[in-house]
Amino acid sequence: MDHLKSNVFYRGKKGHLPLVDYAQSYWLVDSKGKKYLDASGGPVVVNIGYGVEEVITAVTEQMTKCYYAHPTMFTNAPVEKLAQKLAEHSPKGINRFYFLTSGSEAIEAAIKMARQVHMACGRPEKFRIISRWKSYHGLSLGALSVTGRTSFRKPYTPMLLDVEHIAPPYCLRCFYGLTFPKCQLQCAKALEETILNLGPETVSAFLAETVSGATIAAVPPPPGYWPLIRSICDRYKVLLILDEIMVGMGRTGRWFACEHYDVIPDIITLGKGLSGGSLPLSAVGIQGKHYDCLIEKGGFIHGGTFSHHPVTASAGLATVEVLEKNDLVNRAHQLGAVLGSTLKRILDENPFVAEVRGLGLLWGVEIVKDKKTLDPFPRKIKAADRIWENLFQHGIILYKSTGLAGRDGDALVIAPPFVVNDEDLGLIAHSLEKAISEVLS
């Protein structure tokens, strides 16, 4: 579509976008018949594939029964059943779920929820939030305030909330110039220092992605990071909010990424894969003890016209049931090992690849100008953008990540739907290697 002839307010400056016609499994087809292998699930959203009959049937049936019921007046079966299913798979104690429509909404609700928990428990002076640099939590003003990606924040800096940010567990580009394990997890210890500097009595929550996702391209934290963070939060009565909007619902080969690290949050946010991209759906899960405290003191002061929506919840319920029935979380674990080993075998020696890292079916490939010094390409070169465009023209879709080194730095994220096959994992890896060579050599 030519943006000059359209009435759509497009998200980018591209002159033309292909018009998608239909999608099935992990393939999209445009109006000219060209096929695209979706090797990133869009923005790491499509986990069970496209055109899943169970989801279509569930949504259609719910539309015919009741497509709206206000959550202050009614509950509904899809919401009740989805909450029950999530509780069965969630970290211990997370057994209450508040349903919304976007990740940004979930983050904002989680921040407010943490504040109200402290108020209900007799700690009204606790209001401050700490998050991390190089993080992504959404683009509404509250979510953007906790987000740590400079390029997204810069235009709106005067409008953002006062949120403290600490270094991420990004060992390749350690903020302290240290190496693991000699660093003794300085990036985690920084949380305690920041809490003490702000005043422990004022800090409400620490919010972070369990595995760093889009902004620094699939960086799992080093061993010991999350247990140390959890102990610091406990020491100062700071609630731990884990953002699993991208990495939850099986993406890392477990139902929840925090299962890899033996850490249990107070609050967890979900989205993206919760409905597999079929309908806008997100959720905030909270420890039952915190929910009970809130309810005793009058409930959560929050709301939304489309919260607890029966149709979106039916899509989420069907998605969870497909994950269960087809053992897709375990499949993500198994295929993730194949994808990771294939990417490393093909790309580890590439002079422009600094690191291949990831977990489950979420992998990142960081691109650099100099492999030894880790010097990035200047942002004006748009290395990741050009590699992405090369792949897109050849019918392979990945996800771009930029600004990994200050405002420079490039990476590509590979996160295909869990139904991808082994042969196409090889195609993805070889296509990426070819695109890097064609663009940068």
> What CATH number corresponds to the domain at position 376?
3.90.1150.10
d(CA 82, CA 97): 9
* Domain boundary residue, one of 275, 308, 325: 325
Residues 6+ apart with CB under 8 A from 73: none
Q: What is the pLDDT of residue 5?
A: 80
Same domain, 354 and 307: no
Same domain, 28 and 156: no
* Domain boundary residue, one of 325, 344, 375: 325
40-92 pLDDT, tens digit each: 999 999 999 999 999 999 999 999 999 999 999 999 999 999 999 999 999 99
Provide mean pLDDT across the span 339-359: 98
Q: How many residues does the structure list for the chain?
A: 441
**8/202: higher pLDDT:** 202
pLDDT at 1 over 90: no
Same domain, 166 and 125: yes
> What percent of the chain has a predicted confidence (pLDDT) above 90?
95
201-225 pLDDT, tens digit each: 999 999 999 999 999 999 999 999 9
Same domain, 17 and 34: yes
Residue 398: how many CA atoms within 13 Å on its side-chain side? 32
What is the 8-class DSSP label of residue 171?
G
Same domain, 340 and 274: no
Same domain, 392 and 312: no
List of E strands, 202-359: 203-209, 239-243, 267-270, 282-287, 353-359
Provide mean pLDDT across the span 194-204: 98
pLDDT band at 347 (very low <50, low <70, confident <90, very high): very high
Provide mean pLDDT across the span 114-124: 96
Provide mean pLDDT across the span 86-100: 98
CB 10 within 8 A of CB 17: yes
Same domain, 332 and 358: yes
pLDDT at 171 over 90: yes
**275/10: higher pLDDT:** 275
Same domain, 288 and 343: no
| CA-based torsion, 338, 344, 347, 349: positive or negative | negative
Same domain, 78 and 46: no
Same domain, 171 and 308: yes
Total tally of structural domains belonging to the chain: 2
In which element (H, E) is residue 384 found? helix 383-393
* Domain boundary residue, one of 283, 301, 325: 325
pTM assigned to the model: 0.97
139-165 pLDDT, tens digit each: 999 999 999 999 999 999 999 999 999
Average pLDDT over all residues of the chain = 96
Same domain, 122 and 176: yes
Domain that holds residue 25: 3-51+327-440
Same domain, 106 and 233: yes
Given its phi and psi angles, is residue 125 left (phi above 0), alpha (psi -120 to 50 degrees) or beta?
Answer: alpha
Torsion, CA 222, CA 225, CA 227, CA 229, rounded to 10 = -160
351-381 pLDDT, tens digit each: 999 999 999 999 999 999 999 999 999 999 9
Q: What is the pLDDT of residue 14?
A: 67
Residue 115's CATH number: 3.40.640.10
Q: What is the pLDDT of residue 12?
A: 77
221-252 pLDDT, tens digit each: 999 999 999 999 999 999 999 999 999 999 99
pLDDT at 10 over 90: no
Cis status of the peptide bond prior to 181, with omega within 30 of 0: yes
Instruction: For residue 270, give the nearest of 282, 254, 255 by alpha carbon.
Output: 282
Q: What is the pLDDT of residue 4?
A: 72
Q: Angle of helix 310-325 relative to helix 53-65, nearest 10 degrees?
A: 150
pLDDT at 7 over 90: no
Q: Angle of helix 422-440 relative to helix 383-393, nearest 10 degrees?
A: 130
Return the amino acid letter for 74. F
